[in-house]
Structure 1
Amino acid sequence: MDQPEYHIPVMLSECITGLAIDPEGIYLDLTFGGGGHTREILKSLKGGHLYGFDQDEDAAANAPEDPRFTFVQANFRDLKRYLRLYGVAKVDGMLADLGISSHQIDQPERGFSTRFEGELDMRMNQGSGLTAKEVLNTYEEGQLHKIFGIYGEVKNAKTLARQVVSERASQPFESIAGFRDLLKKFAPRGKEYKYFAQVFQALRIEVNDELGALEEMLLQAKEILKPNGRLVVMSYHSLEDRLVKNFMAKGKFHGELEKDFYGNPVRPFEPITRKALVAGEEELARNNRARSAKLRVAKRL
C-alpha cells in the first residue's frame, strides 16, 4: 500500500547523494517509515539489494513489492542479528533518519502529540512494554528530573518532576489532556507549545531508549560497513547529533580522538561533511519538520 503522505522525507536528495550508491551494492534504510528514502534508493539499484528496518508495525504496509527490497520489522539496534539471518555480513551504505515520523505524530491513539487527546503511550514499537504513562506514574522524582532535564532540556525540570510525583499520589496520569493541564502551570507564558514539545520529547526518548539504540546501531555500523562504505545519519535534536558527530569524528561517543605513535588519527570513519548539512529555504517553506534537521555523512576507512 503506497502512502505518500505517511511521512515527507527531509533532505532527500542530500541523503541519496551522501550514500554514493553503487548499483550492485547492498544498502540499509534503517528508519523505513513511509518508504520515501527506500523508493529513491531503489531507483539507483540494479543488481543490488536494500533492507528496510522499522520497529513500527504500521510501516510494513508501505513496503514496496520489489525483488530488490526486504522489509525487516525490527529496531535498528538489532541490525547485525537480522542481517545474519539473511546471510549479509557487510554492506555498502546505511541511512538513518532519526526521531519520529509524521504518521506517528498524527495518530492520536499513539500519544506522541499534545495536539490530540489520547493515552500517554509513545511507544514506537507497540509490542514493547514501557509506556509514557508508566514513566510518569512509577519513576522516582530523581529519575523524572534527569529525564526532563537531560532529554528535554527543560529549565524547571526539578520543579516539574516534584509536582508530577505529588499529583500522581492522588490521581495517576492516564491521558494527554490530564498531563497537559499540569504542564500548563509550569510552561513559560507565550512558549507553552515549545515547553510541551520538550517534555514530550523527553518522555519519548526514555520510552523508546532512543539514545541507547542509536549508540548500539553506530557501533554495529563500524563492523558491517565495507571500506569506503557510507554512513548517513539525520538527527533532530542536539543529543542525537552530538553522539553522531563524535562517533563519525572519533569512533567513540566521549573523550578525545586517539592517535598512533606517529600522531596520525586512529578512527574507523572519516566525516565527508565537515559541518552538518541543513535544509535550504525552499524545503523549510515546504516542510516545517526540516527546521531542526542536521545531516552528517561519513565513510568507513
Structure 2
Amino acid sequence: EGEEGEMTNAAEALVERLDGTLSLDLAAQLVARAGGDLERAERLLMMLPRTRALNELLLIVKELVFVGQQPLGVDGVEALGWKPANVNSSYGEGEEVTRDVNWAEMTAVNGRRVCDAQAFLVLCELWHRVVDDGFREQVLDLALEAFTEHPLNFFALHECGFLTVVLESQDSLCTSLRERSMKVVEFVITCADCLPVRDLSVFAECLRDHWEEDTVDIALRHVVTWLNFDPKYAPGFRETGLLSVVVKAVSKFSESLHEAALTPLPAGGAVGG
C-alpha cells in the first residue's frame, strides 16, 4: 500500500506540474513506467505522439505480415544456415545446410496465413531504429505470433538477419527482452524443428566475449532446455560453439564457488554461531 500510495502521489504531482492538462489515469501510467521518476515520466509524455505513430506503423506491418499476396515472390525459398533437426546427417564443421521450402506447402498447411517478406524487412528495420524497450517487446511478440501461425514463416525473417541482430545485442537488452528473444529461438527449435546454426554461432561468439551475469544466466537456462528437448540437437550445438560456452560458464561458476568456500567468514559469522 505504501508503494502504491507513493505512485498515486507522484501521479498527482505530475498532473499539477502540467497545470491539470493531463488526466490522472494517464499520469499514473506514465509514472509507473518511469518507476516513480517525475522527470522521466514527463519525458515519456513528450514521446507519446511518436509512440502512437510507431504503434500505428506496427499495426500496418502486422496486416502485411498476414495478408501479403506474394510473400516471397519465388516458387521456393532457400534458407541458408539452417539444419533441419529431422534429417539424419553428419554435422561437418562450418557446414552450411540448405533447406528447400515448398511454396505450395507454405500456403496449404491447414489454411494458415503466411508472411509477406517485405513486411518482415520493415519489422527488422523497426528493431534497428527504435530502441524503446516496450516497442521492441511488441516487435518480438509480433514475430513470435507470425511463427505461431506457420513455423515456416521464420525462414523469411531469417533472410533479413533479424534474429542474429537480436542475439548480438543481448547485453544491451533489458531482462524481459532477453527472455523474449530466447523464446523466439526456442519456438524455432521445438516447433519449426530447425536449428538456426548461423544465428546461434553469432550468439555463442557474443557470450564468449561478454560475461554479463544476467545474460549468461538466461542463455544457459534456455540452452539446457533446448538440449534436453532432443539429443539430436547436440551435434549442432557443438558446431555453433554453444556447448563450449556452457562448459566455460560451468567452469567459471565452479571457480567462484570454490573461492567463496575458501574465503574466511568474518568474526562471529560462523554458521550456527
Both structures adopt the same fold (TM-score exceeding 0.5): no
Structure 2 length as normaliser, TM-score? 0.29
Structure 1 length as normaliser, TM-score? 0.27
Q: Radius of gyration: which is bigger?
A: 2
Specify which structure has the higher proportion of strand: 1
